[in-house]
Structure 1
């Protein structure tokens, strides 16, 4: 089961506030478990069920910018290193396997 969290990297302030928790995106059988940097995901609050899609597809909502295996804490700051100061990003967390984080940018 995974969650998508919106984050913003703060230049002067290290603490990050969780702006929105979109909610559980995956049912058992994690369809994003094999996601790697450069892959795209379809996901939205209105249509739960994130999955890997081609980046040219209209359904591609997010691009994977980074992946952190062995971690699934939605409060993690591990994705900050993949983004510029004040850049909005999305954190997808999953407890599948040993857990992982996907560091996401809006596609497009």
Structure 2
């Protein structure tokens, strides 16, 4: 599986997205990541492993704790991929705005009438 597909697959799960959102606030242990969920730390650990394989997080040991850390690089790859589609939609919205402005000025007939 290519890297983008692996990243998107990891992001497809709402629990994993919530874990990433929590990690955007700072590093956390599996127990800390599990606290807002009705899941065991073992279940959260499986989600963390998927995120780690996708490169979205890294783990490090600090004293007695294993901490997870958000890695932004794979998210930049997704953002770069989406940028092409964002440009297309921005252009389409600009075109709609132009048509609406022309209707408002009276240069075009309102198609709703």
Q: Which has the higher contact order (CA 8 A, sep 6+)?
A: 1
* TM-score with structure 1 setting the length: 0.26
* TM-score with structure 2 setting the length: 0.25
Q: Which one has the largest radius of gyration?
A: 2
Q: Which has the higher helix share?
A: 2
Q: Which has the higher strand share?
A: 1
